[in-house]
Amino acid sequence: MTIPQRRAARARGAFIGAWLAWPALRLTVAVLALTVVAGAVRAAEARAGEPPGQRAAHKPAARRAPPRKVSRKQSFSWLNPTTWPVLPVPMIAVDPSNGATLGIMPTMLQADGSGRIVRIIAPDVVHNDYFGTGGDVRWLEYPSTDTRWSVNAGIMQRVDSDFAAMYRTGLLRTRRWSLATALRYTRNGAERFFGIGNATRYCAQSVYTGQRLVLRGTIGWNITHTWQLAYTLLARRVRVSGGHLPGVVSITRRFPSVLGMGTTDELLERLAVVYDTRNSITLPTSGADVTVYYDAASRDWTPGGSMFTAAGADARFYWSSTRRLTIAVHVDLRYMLSLHAVPFWALSSIGGDRSILGGRQTLRGFDNSRFYGRDSFVANIEFRQQVLSLNTLGTHVELQIAPFYDVGRVFEHSATFPIDKLHNVLGVGFRGIAPPSIVGYVDIGYGGEGAQVYTGIDYPF
């Protein structure tokens, strides 16, 4: 393919990516419309027992009839989603790396007496262009604002499978100790690698199958409500093998000598100092969350730092200029101090929707881990504007629209100026919120290689 042809292909890809982002946007609007209709139906039912004159005229409160108590047990109606025992949520995902995924996710939400969601059960059945038909089962528990746990498992017809279990307690730091544990297994046949460096080209992409087994535990000593000293132990086994997707070259052909092929066992120890003044761990509107850490990773699950050592800082700041607007800022800087034949997947990386301490950082206009390098820098800003707030489906629901701007880069030398030659992303996020613990999002970002659409639970940062 000639250079003009490649440029034309990338231009077409950017246009197609932007166009494909619209189904997710239409889905978001449809869900919001459903929520509004449900709220309107519920309000109409609540007001159905009022005399006609009181519904039509706004009389003083002293002259109004007392509000009618509405029973929580309402008769089933196809026209009222608040009476449905299960919400059939359509799933539409368009990912340049993983292909198109279509399916349905019957979702059951359970709330306590105050309307706070305490349980989500969400199985799904999906079909993917690359991996065939499959499904997932998700069970999320929120017994209190201080504790949460979840289990999910899934398998596809070809290649892909996953299992994850997570438990966290002491989130509010009102006790002396906090604890977090997680076990995860994933097998993904559509992971991409473009080479190492900040200027790798999109046309150099390759595909590989990544298989990971990760066990992680963190214990935090809450010195005060604001300050925490945390120790993390992570054991990981990673297996990288050639990928087999139509139209994409396998990593074993394009990068046969890259470090990290085959199976690698890693043991990572982390010591972190945390300063946290956020007013909420899930839905922060003010305060700061700053972490400074040191990592030592070794091969074969034996301590000693024989693979690499690294240090970094991750800072998140939140301001609310009005009750409905929150400005969120995130900055992350990571330096790898020493390296000894480090696998490519253990290097610093940027790209995707998630910010992981000591790992991949947020750059929402590019593939997951699009750029690998020794060191990394990212900065993100969001303007989280609340546009809707109502009580429906048994709980309180809010909608946010969040324009965002992401920048980032990787680099090989500590003397490099981190904010030079940055990759830029502009985008907008749509957030559905059920306070105080639930955030779901659809983020659409546009970068130098076209549009990307990401969906998930919790804020990206």
- Mean pLDDT over each residue of the chain, to the nearest integer: 83
Q: Which of 269, 323, 334 is nearest to 298 (CA)?
A: 269
Percent of the chain with pLDDT over 70: 80
Higher pLDDT, 30 or 338: 338
Q: What is the DSSP letter of 67?
A: P
Residue 127 — pLDDT band, cuts 50, 70, 90? very high
Segments making up each domain of the chain, as ranges: 3-59+80-457
Please state which of the ranges 63-72, 109-118, 171-180, 192-201 shows the lowest mean pLDDT. 63-72
Residue 38, SS3?
helix
184-218 pLDDT, tens digit each? 999 999 999 999 999 999 999 999 999 999 999 99
Distance of CA 147 to CAs 143, 179, 185, 186, Å? Answer: 6, 10, 23, 25
Start-to-end C-alpha separation, the chain: 39
Residue 34 — pLDDT band, cuts 50, 70, 90? very low
Q: What pLDDT shows up at residue 141?
A: 94
Q: What pLDDT shows up at residue 57?
A: 36
- Torsion angles phi and psi, residue 391, rounded to 5: -100, 120
Distance CA 89, CA 102 (A): 11
- The domain 3-59+80-457 is placed in CATH, from the list 3.20.20.70, 2.40.160.50, 3.40.640.10, 2.60.40.10, at 2.40.160.50
Q: What pLDDT shows up at residue 56?
A: 35
Q: What pLDDT shows up at residue 150?
A: 96
283-319 pLDDT, tens digit each? 999 999 999 999 999 998 777 768 999 999 999 999 9
Mean of the pLDDT values across residues 41-56?
Answer: 37
Please state which of the ranges 16-20, 82-86, 199-203 shows the lowest mean pLDDT. 16-20
109-120 pLDDT, tens digit each? 888 877 788 888
Under 8 Å CB-to-CB from 121, ≥6 apart: which residues? 107, 108, 110, 138, 139, 140
Q: Are 347 and 370 in contact (CB under 8 A)?
A: no
Cα three-residue angle 407-414-358, rounded to 5 degrees: 60
Please state which of the ranges 84-88, 134-138, 244-248, 378-382 shows the lowest mean pLDDT. 84-88
Percent of the chain with pLDDT over 90: 63
Please state which of the ranges 75-89, 234-248, 385-399 shows the lowest mean pLDDT. 75-89
Distance CA 246, CA 268 (A): 36
Task: Fill in the amino acid letter for 121.
Answer: I
Q: Which of 195, 191, 202, 245 is nearest to 447 (CA)?
A: 202
Higher pLDDT, 168 or 113: 168
Q: Which tokens sit at 116?
A: 């706070």
Q: What pLDDT shows up at residue 75?
A: 63
Outline where DSSP puts E strands in 62-131: 87-95, 99-111, 117-121, 124-128
Is the pLDDT assigned to residue 32 strictly greater than 70? no
Q: What pLDDT shows up at residue 7?
A: 38
Distance CA 103, CA 85 (A): 19
233-251 pLDDT, tens digit each? 999 999 999 999 988 999 9
Is the pLDDT assigned to residue 408 strictly greater than 80? yes
Residue 93 — pLDDT band, cuts 50, 70, 90? confident
Distance CA 397, CA 24 (A): 20
Distance CA 128, CA 253 (A): 25
Please state which of the ranges 55-69, 269-283, 307-321, 342-356 shows the lowest mean pLDDT. 55-69
Q: What pLDDT shows up at residue 77?
A: 67
